[in-house]
Amino acid sequence: MAIRYYTVTWDQLHRDAKALAWRLVDKGPYAGMVAITRGGLIPCAIISRELECRLIETVSIVTYDEEKRGEPSVVKPPAAALESRGEGWLIIDDLVDTGTTAKVIRALLPKAHFATVYAKPAGKPQVDTFITEVSQDTWILFPWDTEPQFVAPIAKSHASSNGG
């Protein structure tokens, strides 16, 4: 199956994270927020500003090596939220894909509210609130993983693909 790419710019990420904050504001107040590093850090910063929530904990789960999956391991647990099992806490990640990361965090913090900006169908059941769904065969390209580069004019690439 050919992979598609969905490019997210800084502006779009800011807009989508704010849209998520709008959905979350009435579900609070929150005891604090847990950002899933590293992808959840920037959406968490944007949402914490909107919700005026200044207590931020982090959790680090290592699952991916580039675009290949490995076994998930908790590199840094969300210490401040563990005792309450996440009650009143808001967990933020940039996206849910297979749901592997979300399942590990949910086991640690079963009472927390889990929110992501983007969601793919396989992981969607693990998430309480999200903004945009993309198909399972789509790879989301975040602004921190990409940079603008020169692209040849259409006429040039068209001519070379026609042997011109």
Ligand X SMILES: O=P(O)(O)OC[C@H]1O[C@H](OP(=O)(O)OP(=O)(O)O)[C@H](O)[C@@H]1O
Ligand Y SMILES: O=c1[nH]c(=O)c2nc[nH]c2[nH]1
The contact set with ligand Y (CB under 6 A) reads 64, 95, 97, 139-140, 142, 145
Q: Which does 140 bind (CB under 5 to 8 A by kind): ligand X, Mg ion, ligand Y, none?
A: ligand Y
CA-CA distance, 136 to 149, in Å (whole number)?
27
- The DSSP code for 44 is H
If one asks whether residue 43 binds ligand X (CB under 6 A), the answer comes out as no
Q: Catalog residues that contact Mg ion under the rule CB under 5 A.
A: 39
Quick one: which segment of 3-11, 94-102, 107-115, 131-139 binds ligand X (CB under 6 A)? 94-102
128 catalytic? Reply is: no
26 catalytic? Reply is: no
Q: What single string gives the DSSP state of each residue in 109-161? A: -TTSEEEEEEE-TTTGGG-SEEEEE--TTEEEE-GGG--------HHHHHHHH
Instruction: Check whether 137 is labelled as a binding-site residue.
Output: no
Q: Which of 94, 108, 118, 130 binds ligand X (CB under 6 A)?
A: 94
65 catalytic? Reply is: no
Give the pair of three-digit tokens for residue 70: 């490995």
CA-CA distance, 42 to 94, in Å (whole number)?
8
